[in-house]
Every structure is written in C-alpha cells, then in structure tokens.
Amino acid sequence: MFEFVRTHNRLFQFILLLLILPSFAFVGMQGYTSMMGGANAGVASVDGRKITQAEWDVAQRDQAERIRRQNPGVDAKLLDTPEVKRQALEGLVTERTMQAAATHQHFTVSDERLATLFQRDPQFAFMRNPDGSVNKAILSAQGMNSAIFVEKLRQDLSLRQVTSGVESSGVVAATNAKLAFDALLQQREVQLQRFDIKDFAAKINPSDADIEAFYKEPANAAKFQLPESAKIQYVMLDLEALKKDVKFTDADLQDYYKQNASRYAVAEERRASHILVKSERSAPAAERAKAKAKAEELLAEVRKNPASFADVAKKNSDDKGSAANGGDLDFFGPKAMVPEFDAAVYAMKQGEISNLVETDFGYHIIQLTGTRGGDKKPFEAVRAEVEAEVRKQLAQRRYSEVAEQFGNLVYEQSDSLQPVADKLKLQLQTATVQRQPMLGATGPLASPKLLEAVFGNDALRNKRNTEAVETGPNQLVSARIVQHNPVRVPPLADVKDKARALLVRKLAGEQAKKAGEARLAVLKANPADTAGLEAAESVSRAKPSNLTRAQLEAVLGADASKLPTAVGVSAEDGGYLIVRINKLQPPDPTIIDDRRANLQYTGAWARAEGQAYLAALKSQYKAVIKVEAPASAASAP
C-alpha cells in the first residue's frame, strides 16, 4: 500500500466514504462453543444458536487483551466503554455468521494447505524457527499448543473463504480510480494573505467601563464561571502504606528463600532431536497400526546405531521442518511441547533414546542431546527480590487485619480523620477535587467512587467522613470536605486580567475580519492586485501546508471555473485569511501513480463488496442482537 494512504488514512477514508472499510475484526475463536449450553441469557443469536452473556464477556476480555498487546500504554478506561463492549458483541455476531456460512457451504482447509500457508505467509515468519518448524515457545506464551494453533488457523482460513470469493471477483474501471484520486489529490497553486489578531490587538486599549460591560454580558458568564470543587482531607490504607512498618529478620528472609527455592532457579532447558511418523489419533486403526510399525522399525534402527539418529531423521521424519536438521529441535523450556512429548523429554538422561511417544501428531522417537540451566541463584543475588516479596506478603496479611478497623474508625469518629491516621500511622493528605476526575488526576483522586462519596449528601452537608471506599486492589480511602466551593462566577476584580484579554481578542478578531473582507473585495474586483500576498505555493489534501482543515476544504471547494479567484476564511485563532487561487495542478506523481491508485481503489471496492455480502449473510442466517444498550454488557474484568 502506497505511502500517502498510510500517512493520510483518515482523510482517505473521508473522501472515499463507504469504499474504504475496515477489515473484519474477529474475536478469539477458542472456547466459545463449550459455553453454548450455559445458563446465561442470550444476548444475540445467529442461525438459531444463541450467544450468551458469558460468551460476550469472554469476547470483551479477548478484545481488551488484543488491544493491550498492540497498544501497551492504552488507558484501561477506554477498553470498558459501552461502545467498545458493543464492538465486541458485533464482532462475535460477525464471526458466528461466517462460521454458519462456512458450515453450510462446506468450506474446509486441507493439512497440506495449512502447512504451505505457514511456511510461506510472511505474517507467520516470527513463529517459524530457522528450519521452518513452529516455535513452540511462542505458542506456549500465547497459551496454545500445536494442536490448538492448527485448529485456530484452520478455522480462520475457513472463515476467510466465506467472503474471499466475493472480494476477489470485483472489477473496477481504471477511470473510476482516476476520478476518485484526482478529486482527493488535486493540487491548487495559491497565494495567502493573513490578517492576524496580534497585529490588531496591540492597538486596542479598552477602558475599565468596557471591560466591566463585557464581564456583565450574560452570554459571557460561562467564560468566567468556576466549576464546583471541594478542598478535602483524605487518608489511604494500602499495601505501600503498610510496607513501611512491617518487621522481619534475616532468618525470615532465609526461610522464605529456602521454602521457595524453585522461584530462584534458572529455568532448565533441554535440547532434543526427534523422528516423527505422522498419524493423527482420528486416523483409521489400520493406518495407525501401519504408522506405529514403521516407527518401531526406525526405533530399532537408531537404538542399534545411535550415531545414525540424524541421518535416519533426515530420511524418514515427517516433521519436515526439523528433519532437514537431523530432527534437531534446539533448546526449549518446560511445557513448550505437547504434554506427552514434554514429559518424555524431562524424564530422560542426556544421550538416551526414548521409547515410542504417542501424541496428537503421531509417533515420536526422541533423543535427548543437551541440558542447560536449572541452577539455583545464591541468596545474596536475590536478597532484594526476596525482601520485597516478604514485605509485600506481610503487608497483605496486615491489610487483611486492619481493613475492618479502618472502616470502623472513620465511621465511629466521623468528625475527623486524625484518629484513624494516628491509630494506623497513616498520612493525612489534602487535595482539591471536583465531581469528575480532574485532568491529570491519579490514584484515589481519579476514583469516581470516592468522588461520588465526597459529594454525597452526608459528606457535603454534614462535613462527615465518607465511608471507607475501595479505590483499587488492597486500597481503602476515606475523605472529608474541609471547604466546599459551589459553581460560581468570581467577582470582576479576581478575573479582570482575563476579562480584558478576552475582550481585546474579541475586538481584534472583529477588526481582522473587517480588514480582511475589505481586502477580499478589492482582490475580487481587481485580481491582478497582488499587493500583500505571499509567494505562490501548491496545496492539496496530501500537502495542506499551514492551512487548517476548514481552510483547506474552503480552498479546494471553491469554484475554479474562472481563475484567478479568491476566497476568505476565518482563522481558528480569530483572525482572517485570504487565499488567491491562481491555477489547478494535477496530482503529484511522487505521491501516487495510476497503477497503485487502481490497485488501492480496487481493494477498497472489494472490501465494500465483502461487507455488503456479509450483511446479506447476517440477514440470511437471522443474526440478531437482542440487547438494546451496550451498557448492559458485563464489565470485562
């Protein structure tokens, strides 16, 4: 895809409207069918099969986890909005619709095609070992073994077949692509003349009476209004507060180190080679017996001559990825392989050749060729880590003991937080808050639950402590209002400087517009009068120069049937801009060429056709979402 579309994706979507549509987004496919008979009420249905609330919850969790992996710094609140929850449900309905279509239309994917795709598709490159075999460690990190990965890939390819035929059959005339991209990327040579408010503001000096009149205008009251706020005291009971006072000895640390020795050991890795005689468990008994007999023959051969293991693997192993390397799988950690294979490897001694090991893939002959790791780190090397863990556990134990006491103290002595601070050795803190979290608020001050309690009737009117509010894991907070400030407009004396600045800006903007409109009238009457105009430059949606979106659209939307012409546009800062359009220019060939434009336009059209077909499938298979509001979905934990 060419660079311009990557850089100006939003603009591209805006111009082509429905032709640019997102690719299908699928939620995870693992585990849904196991819940189909659950007790949860149906939130949607496809082809007569309901989608339960529990399945929706799983889809939300999968979607949130996928977004977190792609954007580690994403705000967790953005993943829990009604709109995002609705997207998860719609994605689940889309997936089920395509599953129904794939089933009814008997779409299947052979093992040979799966293998070819895995070996050749660039998107799987990171999962392939240098020898072409699947990286079991990566699968393990994703919570999958080889069998699960193969099934997910098979299902994904089956679903792709549902719309691929429609998407690949679209034929688009090259002239249509040219027209679309000409409209999108046409350039215009322009000259600008700016009337900035700063040039007029320096000459404006409003009187005190002018400022007072501006301040008193009802329409301006909101510009000076201060939001409701409260100055509060608060105390927080959490693990960090308790960690400082926990007591322990070196003996305690040594005991913890000994009791959790496995946590401080370098993970043992093993290297093995194998010979695979492929035979799936679902294969007919005769085929299974034949495969086992072949495996037993190969086992006898390598046991007779262990040094021949690599040559036998190269000639006979059905795992083509490792066979090229004599069956070598390199080093791998515990549980990186399927359970039967893993158990056999970790029960062997170096150089030993296993008996036949049966897995979902067939019969394996394994030779253990190396081990590394498994060494225990000395205490001094992990002392800081041990101390942090002991301190955390003692704090958690202490938290469980005093949490109830914290709640009782702030309730029983509701006129002050000092007693609970003194009793539990907590810090009494102050802050200014509003009913909604303020910009940049963190920790408990960003908790809607705490703010709701602070501005509740009892705390607001009676100045009592709030109840103990759980604002996070292992975190309780109580607050009280010291001073309440209702919504108000401060006196002029407090905001006179602000009022003057706003008035000057308003008057300067009016003068800038007046001067700009007068200059525009002269320019329209005499297009040859170029006094004050800047040097000519080319602008387009791809190269907007310093024009805002509104200014650019005004320039590109102006009638260019008779040139030169001029338009005037208000600037966002209150100033005024005149743009003289000299001539039209073709799209910049360095940004796009006809071939790439046609490819992109065809792809967009194909996706639009696919979406239309999918909508028809949803109608055919009676895909219905039964919940009216997205907020009805359970929050993803």
Least confident of 83-87, 151-155, 167-171: 167-171
**Structural domain boundaries of the chain?**
3-171+602-632, 187-200+492-585, 229-248+381-485, 266-372
- Cβ atoms of 465 and 439 within 8 Å: the answer is no
Tell me what pLDDT residue 41 has.
62
Average pLDDT value for the chain: 83
Least confident of 230-239, 297-306, 373-382, 523-532: 373-382
- Best-predicted range by mean pLDDT (119-123, 141-145, 191-195, 590-594): 191-195
Tell me what pLDDT residue 9 has.
42
Burial profile 425-462: b = 16 or more Cβ within 10 angstroms, e = fewer: ebeebeeebbeebeeeeeebbbbeebbebbbeeebeee
The 10s digit of each residue's pLDDT in 410-446 is 999 999 999 999 999 999 999 999 999 998 888 999 9
Predicted confidence (pLDDT) at residue 182 exceeds the cutoff of 50: yes
- Best-predicted range by mean pLDDT (27-31, 362-366, 557-561, 606-610): 362-366
Tell me what pLDDT residue 464 has.
94
Tell me what pLDDT residue 636 has.
35
- C-alpha span between 265 and 73 (Å, rounded): 31
Structure tokens at 296: 């037993």
Tell me what pLDDT residue 259 has.
82
Tell me what pLDDT residue 31 has.
34
- Give the distance, in angstroms, between the CA of residue 268 and the centroid of all CA atoms in the same chain: 34
The 10s digit of each residue's pLDDT in 489-498 is 999 999 999 9
* Among 326, 218, 331, CA closest to 269: 331
Structure tokens at 183: 């409209």
HEC states along 193-234? EEECHHHHHCCCCCCHHHHHHHHHCHHHHHHHCECCEEEEEE
Q: How confident is the model at residue 179 (pLDDT cuts 50, 70, 90)?
A: low
For 266-372, the fitting CATH number among 3.40.50.720, 3.10.50.40, 3.30.70.260, 3.30.365.10 is: 3.10.50.40
Structure tokens at 61: 């969790």
Predicted confidence (pLDDT) at residue 83 exceeds the cutoff of 50: yes
Q: Which residue has the higher pLDDT, 296 or 32?
A: 296
Tell me what pLDDT residue 245 has.
81
Predicted confidence (pLDDT) at residue 253 exceeds the cutoff of 80: yes
The 10s digit of each residue's pLDDT in 339-354 is 999 999 999 999 999 9
| Max Cα distance, the chain (Å) | 108
Q: How confident is the model at residue 29 (pLDDT cuts 50, 70, 90)?
A: very low
Tell me what pLDDT residue 174 has.
62
- What pTM value is reported for the model? 0.47
Strands 469-472 and 475-485: antiparallel
- Average pLDDT value for residue range 514-539: 92
- Percent with pLDDT over 70 in the chain: 87
- Average pLDDT value for residue range 50-68: 86
- Cβ atoms of 190 and 580 within 8 Å: the answer is yes
- Average pLDDT value for residue range 80-86: 85
- Average pLDDT value for residue range 125-136: 75
- Average pLDDT value for residue range 221-226: 92
Tell me what pLDDT residue 380 has.
83
Tell me what pLDDT residue 385 has.
87
Indicate the CATH number for domain 3-171+602-632: 1.10.4030.10
The 10s digit of each residue's pLDDT in 308-361 is 999 999 999 999 889 999 999 999 888 888 899 999 999 999 999 999 999 989
Q: Which residue has the higher pLDDT, 476 or 590?
A: 476
At 481, phi and psi to the nearest 5? -85, 125
Residue type, 69: R
Intra-chain end-to-end CA distance of the chain, in Å = 37
